[in-house]
Chains A and B, each alone.
Chain A
Amino acid sequence: MEKKRLRFQKTGNIAFISHLDLMHTFSRAFSRAGLALKYSEGFNPRPVMSSPFPLSVGQESLCEILDITLKNDIPDNEIKQMLLNKLPEGIKITDVYDQTVKSSLAKWIGVQFRLKYKQVPDKCENRIRALFDREEIVISKRTKSGALSDTDIKGNALFKSFEQSEDACLLNTYLSASEPTVNPVSVISAFEKYDPELVPAYYTITRTELYDRDLNIFR
């Protein structure tokens, strides 16, 4: 089968390159690796390649997927081997396999927030849980036209776990990947609105896993 799914990580400084730039980066990496992709037809042929859940600039991920269509059938581990040392620092292919299910069947993304406080708020975990347990979690989002609009993320943002480590608090959540897409930054916006003390001095966001609608790991 020529339709392959690549699983990869995007961590470290390269988190700051945009989705579009990442696609260009992959296309050049495939060329360096001598891996020929099928091209689309039409006036402006482009390699057939898609990463269905664009990651926001600045966020890291351990569970990205990239769907590609190859010109020729090449064994999975050979593809992995060919791409070894052909990608910039911070992009790592973890798995290559056939596309057997549509990527649109992925529903949830496991998102970890690494929250750094000058001083950790009192009863931090309980307050975060309480926030996710509210009847509604309405946040204001700026639309493409620039106007503010209210969205309720209740039911599309779920609490998973919380732990306090030495230098940061780790909050794990499940956020809806599509229809609707919940941007992780919404969670910080919710802190701001309902319990401002929970807003950390610094934070980073990492995608940890991709799940289907029943919270089984998606492949």
Chain B
Amino acid sequence: MTDDLITVLNKVQKPARYVGGEYNQIIKDKKDIDVRVAFCFPDTYEIGMSNLGMSILYKTMNSLPFIWCERVFAPWGDMYREMKERQLPLYGLESGDPLGNFDVIAFSVGYEMAYTTVLDMLDMSGIPYRREERNDLKNLVVAGGTISLNPAPMADFIDVFFVGEGEELDNEFLAIYKDAKDKGLGKDEFLKKASRIRGVYVPALYDIEYNEDMTIKRFLPKEDAPFPVRKRVIEDLDSVPFPTDPIVPNTEVVHDRISLELFRGCFRGCRFCQAGFTYRPIRMKDSETLRRQGIEAVNSTGHNEITLLSLSTSDYCELENLCDGLLKFCEERSVGLSLPSLRVDNFSIDLMEKVQKVRKSGLTFAVEGGSQRLRDAINKNVTEEEVMNSCRIAFEGGWNTIKLYYMLGLPTETDEDIRGIAEMSDKVQYTWRTYTRNRKRGLKVTVSTSCFIPKPHTPFQWEKQVGMDEYLRKVNILRDSIKAKSVTYNWHDAETSIVEGILSRGDFRIGKVIESVFKKGGRLEAWFEYFDLNRWLEALDENGLSLDFYLFRDRAYDEVLPWDIIDVGVLKGFLINENRKAHRNELTGDCGERCLGCGAFTLTEGGYCYGKEKAALSKDR
């Protein structure tokens, strides 16, 4: 560590974030290494170190003997200023070496608001952020995560996008990178080779033709590049390595615990949910594998909490089995087990009583829509009766804090639907009064709303987003109709939603906007301290682009969408059909009951989808 860095670290808040050295970090001898990877997370250490994907792929890449993969996070404002002032470049936490020394700069990007931080991290390292300005094979910039679901906005900056799950793809890519480096191949030649790997999208290999209205006319692949680029998935989750010895941070991070992933994909098909459509097909992990990995991970880290992750915990096929298997171990070792995104029914209340030794925390329901009609339109397969039934069970069980989540601005929503949210919270209060065991303790209901953002690869990808004024009008309707004393209403501001909306469904021209915002000082914009809507509006204006084009128009089914270059496995016809059904308020239902033929099963070699198998079984019965 240089004297300058030591001086800086003595001045900034929480310097532990910037020094590495944690238990289980991977140190290798540079002599044995052919390819060095800087694995960058465009947010703070506390956020990045809580990310399971990051933890998995760190171990995956380091399992190759010729690779050394190190972690890099974005410094907080005080550290950023000090580093800029002393011209200290961004460095890998393991070696302390500047990013410029690395062969591959790999970004894991999970949300749109991190895009400017990607540019910033490259800039802090003295690496040109525009891909055309990087001519060598060295410092190749790659990215994966949800950024690849619509790569268009970031296509000016990223050399290679990884589409889908990385456990196999990343290492296949690194193997051919090593080969190219050994042979002294140039960047262009290497990119051509890389584009042959399934799941790799190389933006340099495509031209784009526009219509007069600046919608896309067509993509023109060059050099036999694939079109579309098909998402990679892991066929058998039990067979890929899972890090049971993850890094144990030396300082507090957002999630200080062991995460076990139960399954990938989701049966539910809520029409607004990007994860629900893009993580398909459904693949379960074996409960015995999970139990073993959970125990191993606790032993090797010393953590005292395990959390079970998935899009819908209750849908895990062996939940009871797994919990029983883990419970004995957890009790002996005073390890807590937490089950987020659990549907509330008698079974789950029993389960929670068993596993959660801690105080009864609040229960959260994602209801999403305020009327049955609207919930049908978004295919949120939840009835008011079910919610009230869950509340009753919870109140009888002694809970007295309930959180209800909704979205405002969903397609087909009317003012009546919004008032329905208030009515529903009244009913929750009534249910509590009827069933609580202890009225003296009082009830606390929190209603939260966020602004709906249409996302690529969902049935709502063609819909318009509501503007800030309209969102606030809706917020006011709801605020005025909530009368119950025990109800608190929180709403997320719509400013970030506007920017998230532009970036989610942005095209290849949005790169210029991201660049302008970065130049105006945009970084770490997922943090309200650093977010500024005006920068974005100015940047759009300077580049002759409008919110109307990106947010406030209906797209036709036959419009070529910027993300059509990516095939997540779900057929477009399926999405169109789902969109039509939404406008007819028609439910589609759960794909564990009847396979709906979304097409995602074709992503696996064996044509496997757990939902499809389960549906076939229940039909036989």
Contacts and interface: CB of A to CB of B under 8 A. Distances in A.
Interface of A: 12-14, 16-18, 21, 24-25, 27-32, 57-58, 86-90, 116, 201-202, 204
A87 B3 contact: no
Contacts of B23: 25, 28-29, 32, 86-88
Contacts of B521: none
A119 to B, nearest CB: 15
Given A17-B251, A89-B25, 8 more contacts: A13-B19, A13-B21, A16-B9, A16-B16, A31-B302, A31-B333, A89-B21, A116-B3
Contacts of A90: 21
Contact of A57 (B7, B15, B300, B302): B15
B299 A32 contact: yes
Interface string B481-515: 00000000000000000000000000000000000
18 contacts: A14-B21, A17-B16, A17-B250, A18-B16, A18-B251, A21-B252, A25-B248, A25-B250, A28-B23, A28-B301, A29-B23, A29-B302, A31-B303, A31-B304, A32-B302, A58-B9, A88-B248, A90-B21
A13 B1 contact: yes
B7 A202 contact: yes
Given A21-B252, A116-B3, A202-B6, A14 B19 contact: yes
Contacts of B19: 13-14, 16-17
Nearest to B93: A13
B6 A28 contact: no
Contacts of B6: 58, 202, 204
B4 to A, nearest CB: 8
B18 interface: yes
Given A58-B15, A88-B22, A28 B302 contact: yes
A31 B248 CA distance: 13
A148 B280 CA distance: 61
Contact of A88 (B7, B18, B250, B299): B250
Contacts of A202: 3, 6-7
A68 to B, nearest CB: 15
B298 to A, nearest CB: 8
A14 B22 CA distance: 8
**Which bracket fits the contact residues of B?**
20 to 34
A204 B21 CA distance: 19
A123 B605 CA distance: 78
Contacts of B7: 202
A19 B303 CA distance: 19
B306 to A, nearest CB: 13
A57 B6 CA distance: 11
B16 A21 contact: yes
B252 A88 contact: no
B20 interface: yes
Interface centre among B22, B301, B304 (most CB of A within 10 A): B22
B93 to A, nearest CB: 9
Contacts of B300: 32
B24 to A, nearest CB: 9
A186 to B, nearest CB: 15
Nearest to A16: B15
A16 B19 CA distance: 7
B577 interface: no
B10 interface: yes
Nearest to A26: B302
Contact of A21 (B18, B21, B250): B250
A205 B299 CA distance: 35
List the 3 shortest-distance A-B pairs measured between CB atoms, nearest first: A28-B302, A31-B302, A13-B19
Contacts of A13: 1, 19-21
Contacts of A58: 6, 9-10, 15
B95 to A, nearest CB: 12
Interface in B555-588: none
Contacts of A88: 21-23, 248, 250
A25 B248 CA distance: 9
Nearest to A24: B252
A114 B304 CA distance: 40
A54 to B, nearest CB: 15
Contacts of B22: 88
Contacts of B1: 13
Interface in B196-255: 248, 250-252
A6 B14 CA distance: 26
B246 to A, nearest CB: 12
Contacts of B303: 28, 31
A86 B302 CA distance: 10
Contact of B250 (A14, A27, A31, A32): A14
A202 B10 CA distance: 11
A16 B10 CA distance: 8
A99 B3 CA distance: 38
